Each structure stands twice: as structure tokens, then as C-alpha cells.
Structure 1
Amino acid sequence: MSFSKKLFLAYSLLIIFLAFIVGIAFYTYNLRVMEEDVVAKLNAVSDKVAQEVSSLLNQMDFIIDFLISNNDFVESTITLNALNRKNNSNLVYVNEAKKTIEGILYNYLIIRRFYRVSYFNKKGDFITSNFKSPFPQEDRVNQLINKTKWFTLSEKVQGNIIIPQYYDPWRDDKNVKVFSKVRFLGGYENGLGYIEVQMLYSNIENIFNDESLKNVKILMTADKNVFYARNISETEMKDYYKLLSKFTNVEIDFSSLDKNDNELIAIRYLPKQKIAIFLIFDRTLIERPLKISRNSVLLFGLLIIFISLFFIYFMTNQFTKPIRELKSKVDKININNLSQRIVLENTNDEIKALNKAFQNLLDRLNEAINKEMKYKLLQMKANLEALQAQVNPHFIYNILNIISHRGLLNKDKEICEICSSLASMLRYSTSASSRIATLKDEVEHVRNYLNLMKKRYEDKLEYFMEFQEEVLNQRVPKLILQPIVENSFAHGFENKTDKMKVWIKGYEKDNWWYVEVKDNGQGFDDEALINIKREIENIKRSFNYNEEIEGFEIGKIGLLNTYARMMIFYKNKFVFDIGNSNENGGAVVLLGGEIEVNREEGER
């Protein structure tokens, strides 16, 4: 896959991903905002409904409390239950008691606010505030008391009980739906009777017919009995009843909001009345208006994505055009046209920078190839010098073996040592297997050379070699030390009559290795130093400008050849210093390079 296609694909996936994330975030945010709004409204209407229901029931409790705290009412109920009605003289008191109770019940507030407030007992007495309704007969009153479970239940309960929706049993037509509170009056044998406060069931229905509850399912229970229900199945009721367990032993009004995957459930509990109100809102109703906006946003998002992808495709082609052009021209480059310049049109700064970096790479590669060729030439010259004018090394080794054998026959150990040192030197210098050696190898080669010089000059020559272990494993160009030491004998000791001394020291300092070669000869004269430094500058210029190195002839390997090979090997990160010693006037040559522990092996 091409770079432009990868770029287009990457940006396309990014745009689609961002659109997807923004869409999900937008939808989730709006859903959460709308749900919070529904929750707030649901809580508010739940509080309103609970307050209205509580107000109705508290009014009913107030009337009951009012009656049982009224002495006339209580005494009248006692009279009705205590007197023997078979005694005609007591009937006057019975009728008077009934009129007293009627007078109390025929109160304007009672008649205005309640459908019916009634007092009845097991004697068959029935007195009610609803004087428009006919009074039931005595036997019917007892019959209703015995067969209605609520009246029987009230005898077992201390206080008022709520009777949920039912049809008014005191009417013959039974077409008026009511709810009531009943209080059993105990304290006398079979009790003093019952107080029943009735309200029309339409009062409850009106509370829940609020416009804000149009899409809300409603359940109201009284002591876990259904009081009011709307749009709720029997199965759903069982699930909601399970939520009532959390209201056990609650002593103050309790509110809660439960959530599940499909519903928001606002719960209000009135512990005094044992009333639980559930307002259930279908969560899918929240999502319906969002689906329309979601679909609109989706279509708009797809349009934006399509336009974005088209724009990205166009721009990626434009941006990658210089890269394709650069690739085409790079493919045409080979070793024969490394110096050719690449010119790009209609490009941007980054591509120009890339082109410049590549051009610099080509220049460095071309320079490296030229330097490698020069280094091979220098190495070849070094090998030719070592071959001593193309003398066959095998012939020399054979001659040395013959001489060494004659030395053994004549019991002359020095001849053997000379032959061994010379053979080692020839073997090291003529070996073409590698152009790189370690300082340890170079030191051993110089030691063989100095041993030979010692045989020649005997006690007239002294040499001292001291190397730190840290520098012996450093890799260097082959044959860089022996030409420097040889220079002392060729020029430094030319007119020397007293003892000749050579010091060679290798050490490490500041993560660089150094080799110092010093003698007590006549040193460099000023003209020689000037000439050598001028030649060094010529070599630098030749390498920097890829010019042909002149002035090296086969058979004249020395300081300049060593400098040139050091320059190629270390790429200007080396030390090469020549001068005269302040102590004895002899020559001093200092070599050095940066220590590289992990220098790779191979051709340089």
C-alpha cells in the first residue's frame, strides 16, 4: 500500500472515529440532560401528588380526632350502647343521643368537604352527615358490619384504617365510588361503634389526572393494598411491591428514585398513613424525540464525513506528490551518478528538507567511497613497501629458515633470534588478510623491529616500552607505529655517536588513547617541520575536496602515509602531532584517537 493511501486511510479512520465519538457523546449528553429533566419533573410532581393525598387523608384523620375528642359525641355513643331499649322510658334518652350526634355531624365543614361522615354501631344505629341519602334499616347495618372485613379489621387495630376504593355500601344503587377511613370506638363491652369518614374516589382520580402525569404509570397502595392504579398489569404490581420492603420501620415521609433499564420510578411513602405512591415513567419515551434528532445528526454527520474524506483524498495526493516525485528520482540514482543533483518542483519545506538531507547523504556516500578508494591505495602502497620491491615472501622465509638452521648448527642463538624477529615482521607486514590491527599487534611488531636494531647496535641502543592495558585492544590502521620508530633510526640517529635511546609510551586519558614515540636524536630541524606540516595540510585539502593525493611514491612509507591512513580511519577524530623534546632535543611524535569500545569490525 502506497504512502498516500496509508495517509488517506489513517485520516479517514480518524475522521470516522471522531465523528462516532462526537455522535455518541452528543446523543449520550442529550439523553442524560433529558433524563435529568424528566427526573426533576417526576420528583416535583411526586411531591405535589404526595402532599395532596396526604392533605386529604389528614383531613379525614382530623374529623375522626375531632369527634372522639367531643364529650357530647362520646357521651351520646355511650348512651346508645348502654341503655336497655326494651325499657320504653329509655327511648327518650336514646333519641336525644341520636339528635346530639346528628347535630354534631350536620356541620357545614363536614358536609362541604366530605361525601359522608357516619356513626354506626352493632345496635343497628346509623347516623350520617349525608342526610340526602336514606338511612339503612337496623338489620342491614348489622349485616354490613359482619360481612365487611374492614369493619372487623378496625376492631383489631389501634387507630384509623384506610379503606381503598369501593362502592358506598349504604346506598341501594351502589354506583358511588368512595374511599374512607374507619375508627372503631372501643372501651365498652362490644365497643361503642364505628366512625366512618368517606370521600368520593374522584378526589383521588383528580389528583392523578394532572397533565404532567399523562405518560406516567401510577400505583398507590394503602398498607400494601391497591388504592389506585393506572396502566399497570398484575405482573408489574408484584415487581413494584418488592420495592416496598425498603420502607419497613420508616417513621418519616420517605422519597426515592429507582432506575432500571426501562423505567424511572419515583416513590413517595407516607408512614403515618402507610401510603406508598409509585410514579413510573417509561425511559423509551425519553429516547423517542431524540431518535428524530439523532437520525438528522447522523445524516448530517455522514455528509460531513463524505466531504471530509473527499478533501483528505485530494490533499493527501497533493501533499504526497513531491514524495512520489522524489522516490522516482531516487530510484534512478546509482553509483555512477551520485553527484547528480535532485530538483523538485511545487514542494513544501519538509520535502525540501528531506531532499536536502538525502542530497547530503549522497554527498557523504560519494565522499566515503572516494576516501575508501584512497585508503585502499595507501594500503596497497604500504603492502608494496613491505614486500620490498616485490620480493617473494616465501623465498625470504625459506632463506631465513636456512640461516636459522645454520645458526643452530653453529650454536649461535642470536642468529636464530634475528631470523625469528625478521620472519615475524615480514609475516605481519605482508599479510593482506586485514588492513586493521590492534595496538597490541602494532606494539609486538615494533618490539621485533627494535630487537633487530638492538642486535645491530648492541649496547649503543636502549629502548623503553610502557603501555596501559586499557589501550592495547584499540583498533588502528596497520603499520602506523613501526614507520615512526624507523624514522628515528633513519634521520634522528644519523650523526649520533653516543648512546641511542627510544621511549614508546601508550596510555589512556579522557576516553582517548595516546601513543608517544620519543628519541634522544638530533630531532627535526625547522625546515623539516615546516615541510612536513605543509604536506599534512595538502593531504587534508586533498581529502576534503576529493583531489588526487600526490607526493607518495612506492618505497617511501613514513609519517605522511601514517597521517593519511589515520585521517581516513578516524574521520578527523584523531591526534597526530610532531615536534622536538624540550628535555633532550630529540624528536617526539604523538598519536591518539577516541576510544570506541564497540567499534565494529570490518573494512573501513
Structure 2
Amino acid sequence: MWRWRWRWRNLRTKLFAAYSLVMILIAVAVSIPMYFYLKGDIERNVIHTFEESVSGMDARFEGVFHDFDSISKQLYLNADSTGKTVTQYMDDVVYNPGGYESFQAKNAIENFILLISNIYTRMHRISIFTENSDFFSNLDSEPDAIRSRVRSEQFDPLRSSMGEAIWGYHSRDYWQSGDDTPVFTLGRLLKPRENRVGYLEIQVNAADLLALGRVTEFKGTELLIREHDHVLYSTMGERETEERLPKLEQLAETTNEGVSILQDRSLDEYSFYLTSPSTGLTIYMSVPEKELFAPLRLFRNVTLAAVLLLILLSTTVFYLLSRLLTQPLYKLKQAIDSINLDDRNLDIDNTYHLGEIELINRSFRKMNERLQSNLEETVRFRTMQLQSHFDTLQAQINPHFLFNILGVIQATAENGQIKQVEYISRNLADFLRYAITASKSITTLEQEAAITVKYLELMKTRYLHRLVFTVEIDPKIQYMHVPRLTLQPLVENCIQHAFTDIKHPLHIRIIGKSDGNDWEISIEDNGSGFRADRLVEMKQHIQNYLDTINSNSDVQPLHIGGMGLVSTIARLNFLYKGQFQYEFGNRPDSGSYVTVRGTIKL
């Protein structure tokens, strides 16, 4: 008994019990409301899926019905250049067979059907035919099928009608034996109160009208479509269809707007139905309740398993943490309270020579060293950025540069080239805004290349045909990070020094390439190049500068004009650390190059 009481008083046991209990309470408090909220959401989504399926199907049937009505009206109302309508041409075909008028009428009817089929593209077939087996359609038809079908009992409902639209469903296109596409049909008797001259029929692919979509994922889903007093289409068996008809007749009498939902407890199923006053169709869809809410049961099981797994993992973690935290916890708090970045010999008191305390001591010393090193690097890097910014203001945006550009603007304005003045002024404003803004020290290669192009375009207004430039940046590296004002100072060096002793136009190329995670940027020109002694001096100067900033020595400020190559390499070296290389020199033919390369920081 005493032993168990001592274990309960142990801090490790209390931590484990308290954390585990809190985790269980949190998991239960969060998971139960979330489950019921998501349960209702899933139920609404599932039911909404069936509602959308039924309403979408009804909308497609109504669309076909309205198109059919429109075609019917055009038969009576649209007259061609001779002043005749299609129904009048039908009279010529029926009552003047074999003559020229009959021949002309047949051509007019065929042209009408061709035009209509191009307008109403969702129709599979549009046909006009007579009791004399005169048949017109936008698709090929078999003569035998025409003769046998026209006088068959299939069209008795049309013969006895008064011009109303009558729906039908067939497992294939019966006018052509080679077409096995299931179709819905709409037919109508033409001129029913006069001479009953013929019939209009359209066929629409059944798959286009049904288009069940996600509903097919639910097993046991049945569909029944009823027109007035007979079944038009059903996926059920004959016996089941007969059993459902009384219920469907009652549902068809309802006038509710939108899709109605009925939960049938006796059959353990949900029914969705909609009656359209315009088409006369009642769409009825049923699905077993267990299949309808199968996603909900899956979600419930997954949620329960996830909560239990979370509780199990949490209690395991809390047990391990309680073991790790109990012994060095108090001393760790004291060490955290007394930590100072200037403390070079940081140690936690380890009177009992515990291995965990010694590991914490080492970790704290390493952390302190890293903090000091990172802080020094951050301060040094920001200092270089500020120094580069002020050097840029002094060396790059100096009165000489501004006087030259302003002189170009003045000369251009005096020549009346207002558009050119506006173009130069806009580029100058963009360049000055970018160069002066110091809020962000890092930018993207895309932005840096864009501002460099603006600078080159400004210089081109001065040097005209003597300056040519191309910029080729691989899209894969256009969003990589670079320090601000990386490319422009190197380009300015080309302009300042490459014009010496050359008579041909200066061509500057900026090339950015990538190979996997490696990148490379080169700035080349065809100018006079570096002098041999100057090249050696610059390489030594850059290496000395990098050695200085990598040591604990104070960094000497960059002199005016030193911004270009030295500062660019130094800032890229800081940004990419050990994943950066550079080289520069003279090209074999003429001019110079500067190449920097590294690995993209992921």
C-alpha cells in the first residue's frame, strides 16, 4: 500500500496522469461537437448530391422539351424566300407527289433540317416524315426501317393525338440498324386540326439526359421516369416498377417546387422526386438508406479510430516526457532564467553528475554559440546591405548619372518627342524608387532583372546604337532570392569600363541558367576587358575582403565605386554561405565576364 501511495505522489506519475487526463478531455470535447457538426454537413452534402442529380436531370429534359417546342413553331412560322413554311412544303410533298413542286418542297425540308441540326447540336436525330413514308432526317436511315416503322403501332399515340408532345424511350435508334445508342424521343403530329400532314420527331442520347454523375457511386440506386399515366424509363424490374407506381401516382399529384424528399421507413430507403408541369414528367430516384449514408459511417469509424490513436499516442508521449522532465526540470528552469548571450561558460549545476544534465549543458553551450554567431552574421549582413545602399546612392545615383539622363530628357523634349520623354521619365522613376527603397534587402531574380533592364534602357537613350543588350533568364530560377542591386552594379561596370578603346557597339548579355537545384548567372560584354594587372589585383582584393568578413575582424567600409563586384560577391556569399562560387575574367575573343553560381535554397 505504501509503495503505491509513494508512486502516486511521484511527480512523474502526477505529470503523466494529469497530461493524459487533460488530453482525453480535450480530445472528447473537440471530437464530439466536431463529429456532430461534420455529420450534419456530410448528410446535407449527400442529400444535396441527389437533389442536384434529380433537378439537373429535370432541367435537361425541360431544355430538350423547350427546344422541341421551338423547332415545332419554326415549322409553322418560319417562311423561306418563296414565302412558304415547312408545313406548307409538307402539303406539296403529300398532295403533289412526283411533281416539280414536290421535288422543290423536299429540298426545302432537307435544308431546314440541316440548318436546325446545326443549331440544336444536342439532338441526336431530327426527323420529319409522313404516312406515305416520305422521310427527312439529318442522319442516314434505312428505307426498310422507314416503311415498317411509319405504319407500325409504335406511332398510334401520335396518330390519335391533337399535336401535343409525346415522350418515348428506345434502346437504340430504330431508323438505323447499326446505331445501338439508347435514345429518348419527342414526337408531335403536324397540323392535327387540318389535314394531319405528317410528324416531327427528335431523338436525344439517353446518356446525355440521364448523366447521373456521382449518384452512380451509391449501390442500389434506382431511377424511374413517368409520363402522365405510363412509365417512360425505369432501372427497376417490371414487378418492382408495378409496385412503385401507386406511390409514384400520389407523388406526381404534388405541386411542390423543387425536389421533394421522402424517407420510407418500411423499405429503409430515401426517395427523391420532382414533377415538371411543362414536360409532364415525374422523375423518381430511390437509394437504400445504408448506401446513402455509407460515407457517414466511414467518417464515424475513421474519426473514432483517429481519436483513439491520438489519445494513445498522446499518453505515450506524455509518459516519455514526464520521465525526461522530472529530474532536470528545476535546474533547467534556473539555467533558462539566468541565461545570457555574453556568458561564454554557461553550465547548469550538476551536483549529482547526471548524464541528462551534462547533455543539456552541452546543448546550451552550442545554442549560445550559434545564437552569438547568427546574431553577428545578421548584424554584419545588414550592415553590408546598408553600406551597399548608401554606396549606391553616392556612386550609382550620382549627379553625373542624373545630369546625363536629364540632358537626354531635355534634348528629347526639345525635339518634341513627348512619348519618349514620358517613357524615359517613367523608367528613371522606377529605377530611383527601387534603388532608394531600403525596406527589403532581399528580392527575386525576376525583379532584379526587370530593374536592370530599365537601367539599360535609360543608358540606351544616351548611347543609342552604341549599346546593345540581351537578357536571358531561365523561368525556373526567376523566383530565387538574391540581394537587392546585384545585377545593376555589374552592368554599370560594363558600361563605365568596357567602352574604353572600342569603336564597335557594346553588347551586354545577362544569362541565367539552371540545372536541377543549381543556378548560374553570367554578365558578359564585348568591350576592352580587364587589364592583366587589374585582374590580379581585383581577385586578391575580393579574397581578402571575404576572409575579413568571415573572421571576427571589423569589416572595412566599401569605397565609392567598389560596390559593383566586391559587394555583390560578398552579399551573395553571405546569402548562400557554402553553396556559392564566383569567377570573372576576360573572354577569349574580346570583352569580360562575371559568373556567379550556387545551389537554390529550398
TM-score, normalised to structure 1's length?
0.42
TM-score, normalised to structure 2's length?
0.42
